[in-house]
Amino acid sequence: MAANDRPSPAGAAVFVIGCLVAGAVAAFPAAALWVWLAEPPVVAVTSSGAFFGEAELNQQSEVTLWFVAIGALLGLVCGLAVGAVGNRHGVVTVLAVLALCTAASALSAYVGIAVWGPAAPSQPDTGPGVGDVFESSLQIDSLIAYLSWPIGGLAGAVAAITRWPRVEEMPPLPGASDTVASKETFSRGS
């Protein structure tokens, strides 16, 4: 690709902002899928209180793992898509993938937890009675889980970027002026 084929800085900014908006849009189906697949633990109140056992703690870990799996998979798909169309933008494509995936990760977590997830456990004014059932809210137990989107996105972008054609400008021939031969391009390794 010749230097004059590169987009302007404004074109690159529009590309990154478009990817940021696409990340916000992708967050909603991701959050819906996460809320649908993740099952927060449910505990019953006994005479000694309400306690999470091993099974309930495993369920809570699964809630976080579902977020990681969905984020990594959808990040991979988004990274492939942005990497495939970002050839003109060069290194800005990586920034666009990171913007998309960061927005999608943060917004899907927020929408899943605060908007569509089950309500946080609430206790009546009289206190819980034996036999009452409490469902835990959706929560992400590890901040590392938020990196699943960008990691998947970068993996997808790398896969797409490796398919970009490698075009370089041929160096001018010694003694050649503005001839056709000095402006030809050649492909390396493709």
The overall average pLDDT reported for the chain is 84
> Is the pLDDT score of 167 beyond 90?
no
Confidence of residue 185 (pLDDT cuts 50, 70, 90): low
d(CA 71, CA 56): 23
* Least confident among 35-39, 94-98, 137-141, 181-185: 181-185
H or E segment and range at residue 104? helix 92-110
CA atoms within 13 Å, Cβ hemisphere of 10:
0
Domain boundaries, the chain: 3-40+53-118+143-187
Question: How high is the pLDDT of residue 51?
Answer: 74
Q: Tell me how crowded residue 172 is: count the other CB atoms within 10 A of its CB.
A: 13
First vs last Cα of the chain: how many Å apart? 14
Confidence of residue 72 (pLDDT cuts 50, 70, 90): very high
Confidence of residue 99 (pLDDT cuts 50, 70, 90): very high
Question: How high is the pLDDT of residue 125?
Answer: 56
- Classified as helix, coil or strand, 135 is strand
Q: What does DSSP say about strands 167-169 and 185-187: parallel, antiparallel, or unpaired? A: antiparallel
Q: Residue 65 is encoded by which pair of tokens?
A: 């793992």
